[in-house]
Structure 1
Amino acid sequence: MRLLIAMMMHETNTFSPVPTDLQRFALGPGEAPPRGEAAIAAFRGTGTATGAFIDLAEQIGAEFELALGAHAAPSGLVLDAAYEAMSEAILQAVTRGGFDGILLDLHGAMVSQSHEDGEGELLRRIRAIDPKTPIGVAYDMHANVYADMVELAQTVAGYQTYPHVDMYDTGVRAGSALLQMIQGQAQPTTAWGRLPMIPHIMRQSSLDEPNRSIQARARQMEKEGALCASVFTGFPHADIENAGLSVVVVTDKDPALAQRLRDELMQMAWDSRAQWVYELEPLAASVARAKTLTDFPVMLLDHYDNAASGGTMDTTAVLAEVLRQGLRNVAVFAIFDPQAVQDAIAAGIGAQVRLQVGGKMAMPLMPHRSEPVELNGVVKLISNGKYRNKGPMSQGARQNMGQAVVIDTGDVEVALISRHVEPFDVNALLCLGMDPTQKDFVVLKSRVHWRAGLGHLARATVECAGAGACTSDYSELQFKNLRRPIYPLDEGVNWSAANL
């Protein structure tokens, strides 16, 4: 057996001003997205779907080619040049042919300058070259699903956890189902549908209701005979037609069962729609509430500026409020400011510096802006910013925040970084000499993923509504392309499984 494997992942925030060029998909600055043996070396043994695909191939003794290992932190529209270069790397392999199956590690919410359905476009191009070879796809839970993303593949599986600690398991689910088909042990049949609702990201965690019960039911369906059952909560910061919640169920030569299970999951999601709505708290009140807590560490979530949702990571509203209210023994991860990093490096470790940090990237699609904050402190640490994830999320995968420094004001330690990375892994902080267990307060530019590697350390959590392109106030998002009406943005929205 011979398999083609490829990774091409990006979650596109169409409101984000952060450009998404080809270099952003590389493992580090100045590199290109790895291909061939370099990609295999980068992703073998990692807790990713690609890592699972490699393991599955090797376990059955199959030959395989890894055409591309491209993954970029969420940001703005993928530049057409980047999209075409990555697609071509995959299509070249497809053209060479000779494969018994194709396994794709995709996100499901990629939007390029020319294609609002980046994954569907890739599948259309593959099918134009090779209309017959079976395809299995692993998608992120936040996929915004279009018809071709499902109907041009034979097996589809999505993450069932958020934080995404089951990336590897999802690769196993999608890959195993495809291998069963190739070996004549299964005949996949698929049903999918989408709801007129756009769940709030802050209410999507599978550790909390309603998603906990819904994802548990999807897992139970797989134990009861479904090949793959996936509830895609969707990525709302995308002004595209199909943003929002959808369901895909794959069964073994039983389309009626696939439809029945799909309808059950969609009904569960619709019946719980009020629980997907998020209530905001004013920033000053949140920080003041945190200041009254005495069981440490307290995690303060700067959820308007999460790099894993396309945030610039350079907004300063939460940091400024923490400084204004005088919180002490604080670690902040992180402010994206390459120029401030270089200024601190030039000053050297131990130097006293006065830096204007953050607030340097305009957000033209947001109704607010962020101003720089002055940090007066000592350069405590200089780092190359490289580490590997401890896990459980994407365990073993390489991370690179670029050159980084830590500025210590006496009360607050602030990490300044040169490349966007979300702090979902404890090693993001530990590699900079920041031990969260030794801090009273830890400010994280994160929404939910931080719970994967740091959640067990938190004694309390305070969600802070700051500023940023991944705002949690959806009234600030000017949707022009999203299908309407849609809950909860519009009133009187109705849905029935009978209409599918």
Structure 2
Amino acid sequence: MRIVAAQMKHETNTFSPVPTPLRRFSGRSGFPLEGQAAHDAFKGTGAALAAYIDIAERAGAELVIPLAADASPSGPVAADAFKYMSDKICAAVEKGCDAIMLDLHGAMVTEEVEDGEGTLLARIRTIAPETPIAVALDMHTNLFPAMVDNATVLAGYSTYPHVDVYETGWRAGTTLMRAMKGEVTPTKAWGNRPMLPHVMRQGTHAFPNREIQARAREMEARGEALLATVFAGFPHADVYHAGLSAIVVTDNDPAKAQQLRDELLDMAWRDRAAFVYRPEPIGKSLARARELAEGAGAGPVILLDHYDNCASGGTMDTTRVLKAILDSGLDDVAAFAIHDPAAVTKMVQAGIGATVTLPIGGWNDLPSIKAKGEPLTVTGRVKLISDGRYRNQGPMERGVLQDMGATVVLDTGRVDIVILSNHVEPYDIECLMSLGIDPMRKKFIMLKSRVHFRAGFQDLAKGIVECEGVGVCTSDYSQLDFRHVRRPIYPLDPDLQ
């Protein structure tokens, strides 16, 4: 048996000014991983591709990995990058295989198409019309018909933070293997509701997504469905099918699949108001953070700069929240992070121990939200210089290598500011531990994240305070000019019944 397994992942924020060329998928190597290098990088990790590797090994199958490419979210994927990655996967399929297992995201937009994943799958289907295909998808998938029509089985993450990435690959891949053995006959039903849930209200730590995802998992556990997935959707992709959707795969029972799909969609629609996020002014947030820090209990207070999350396409260089922290006089703070390769270069040249005064961040204008970049001038001591590499402790993407690029910790006296060269979201404590910063020995930690930070930091935190900043990950939809999403849709059209 020959299995082609590949990864091609990107969550596209169509409002982001950050470009997405091929090198964004490539790390320091210049090109995405493939073959044995991809196998070695992902074997034993918490990635969906790792599950495919394990499934192939258990079956004694020949495994071909033509591509392992995952880029941090940003603007639309360059057309030549999409072609390069698609060509690699399709060339492997053209050589013949018995099964295809894909680790995709589900919200890839390119310079030319709204639905990158569906476009890839449709192309594969023209090459291999009968070959079974399993697809693992992110919970933030914006589900398009071409994805469903051209895959045999699809499964999405049921947790946010995404701590079940490996498990999702396992669910999709093992279901496909059962179908190939004739044990089951997958039948699918999918649909959506006209709603754009705010990302800040999609976490599975709280109502309503916690209850919806629990019901989907129950359907699988009880044998009602082979696979059941609710995609909360990625609202910062201004595409027609953006928003919440569901897909249910049953064993040769299309009526049951439709019934279960409707049950899940109805749960979400009934509680649509609970998916709306309402921010508070940053001054009030910081005052509340100070009170939390002075209260009983151990651990840091998390200050969440959620408007500028690079894992949702943010530039990671807006400075409004950091400036408010500095102006407020908060002490014993670690801030992760400001993306500013030029500032890193200057501080590396100055060397450890040097005192520097320089502007950081704010180099990107944000035309989609009519905001100008605002560099922040800071003075501090270069405390540490790192190559920026670490491996996640988990539980999210356990063992996966992260690369911040050249990274500096600048000590202002009150705030240790991490300044890095590559976009990396702080969802694993190793992002700080690898830089000599122990989160439990800080009073406050500023993180540019939205929900993923909970994977590594929620259990350590004395309190969590969400800070209103500026960025293309804004939860204020009035700042975003939606032109392509289907209308009417809630809450853009709040009176929708």
One-letter identity of the residue aligned with 1:45: G
Match of 1:243 in 2: 242
Structure 1 distance, partners of 2:127, 2:37, is 26
Structure 2 distance, partners of 1:49, 1:291, is 40
Match of 1:177 in 2: 175
Q: Superposed, which structure 2 residues align to 1:302-451 within 5 Å?
A: 302-451=305-454
- 2:49 aligned with 1:42, yes or no? no
TM-aligned CA deviation for residue 129 of structure 1: 1.1
* Consecutive unaligned residues in structure 2, runs of 5 or more: none
Match of 1:151 in 2: 149
One-letter identity of the residue aligned with 1:305: D
Are the aligned partners of 2:22 and 2:81 in contact in 1 as well (CA < 8 Å)? yes
Structure 2 distance, partners of 1:292, 1:258, is 50
The structure 2 residue matched to 1:459, chosen from 451, 456, 462, is 462
TM-aligned CA deviation for residue 341 of structure 1: 0.2
Residues 432-468 of structure 1 deviation map (CA, whole Å, 9 limit, x = unaligned): 1111101000000000000001111101000001011
Are the aligned partners of 2:365 and 2:371 in contact in 1 as well (CA < 8 Å)? no
Structure 2 distance, partners of 1:289, 1:317, is 18
Moved more, 485-494 or 288-297: 288-297
One-letter identity of the residue aligned with 2:112: S
Structure 1 distance, partners of 2:287, 2:325, is 9
Structure 1 distance, partners of 2:284, 2:372, is 20
Are the aligned partners of 1:369 and 1:467 in contact in 2 as well (CA < 8 Å)? no
Structure 2 distance, partners of 1:358, 1:95, is 46
Are the aligned partners of 1:338 and 1:417 in contact in 2 as well (CA < 8 Å)? yes
Residues 289-336 of structure 1 deviation map (CA, whole Å, 9 limit, x = unaligned): 212222441000000000110000000000000011100000000000
TM-aligned CA deviation for residue 115 of structure 1: 0.7
Provide the identity percentage.
57
TM-aligned CA deviation for residue 367 of structure 1: 2.2
* Consecutive unaligned residues in structure 1, runs of 5 or more: 495-500
Q: Superposed, which structure 2 residues align to 1:76-155 within 5 Å?
A: 76-97=75-96, 99-155=97-153
TM-aligned CA deviation for residue 30 of structure 1: 4.5
Residues 362-397 of structure 1 deviation map (CA, whole Å, 9 limit, x = unaligned): 211112234111111100000000011100000000
Structure 2 distance, partners of 1:362, 1:84, is 29
Match of 2:22 in 1: 22
Are the aligned partners of 2:34 and 2:68 in contact in 1 as well (CA < 8 Å)? yes
Task: Work out the number of aligned pairs and report it.
Answer: 492
Structure 1 distance, partners of 2:379, 2:28, is 29
Q: Please report the RMSD computed on the Cα atoms of aligned residues, expressed in angstroms.
A: 0.8
TM-score normalised by the chain length of structure 2: 0.98
Structure 2 distance, partners of 1:72, 1:440, is 32
Are the aligned partners of 1:4 and 1:103 in contact in 2 as well (CA < 8 Å)? yes
Structure 2 distance, partners of 1:103, 1:432, is 37
Residues 79-117 of structure 1 deviation map (CA, whole Å, 9 limit, x = unaligned): 0011000000001001111x1110000000000000110
TM-aligned CA deviation for residue 476 of structure 1: 0.4
One-letter identity of the residue aligned with 1:330: V
TM-aligned CA deviation for residue 31 of structure 1: 2.7
Are the aligned partners of 2:319 and 2:362 in contact in 1 as well (CA < 8 Å)? yes
TM-score normalised by the chain length of structure 1: 0.97
Are the aligned partners of 1:383 and 1:404 in contact in 2 as well (CA < 8 Å)? yes
Are the aligned partners of 2:302 and 2:444 in contact in 1 as well (CA < 8 Å)? yes
One-letter identity of the residue aligned with 1:177: T
Structure 1 distance, partners of 2:475, 2:408, is 29
Structure 1 distance, partners of 2:464, 2:370, is 27
TM-aligned CA deviation for residue 284 of structure 1: 1.8
Are the aligned partners of 1:18 and 1:76 in contact in 2 as well (CA < 8 Å)? yes
Match of 2:271 in 1: 272
Are the aligned partners of 1:465 and 1:472 in contact in 2 as well (CA < 8 Å)? no
Q: Superposed, which structure 2 residues align to 1:212-251 within 5 Å?
A: 212-225=210-223, 226-251=225-250
Match of 1:497 in 2: none
- 2:5 aligned with 1:5, yes or no? yes
Structure 1 distance, partners of 2:161, 2:40, is 25
Are the aligned partners of 2:20 and 2:74 in contact in 1 as well (CA < 8 Å)? yes
One-letter identity of the residue aligned with 1:150: V
Structure 2 distance, partners of 1:467, 1:410, is 25
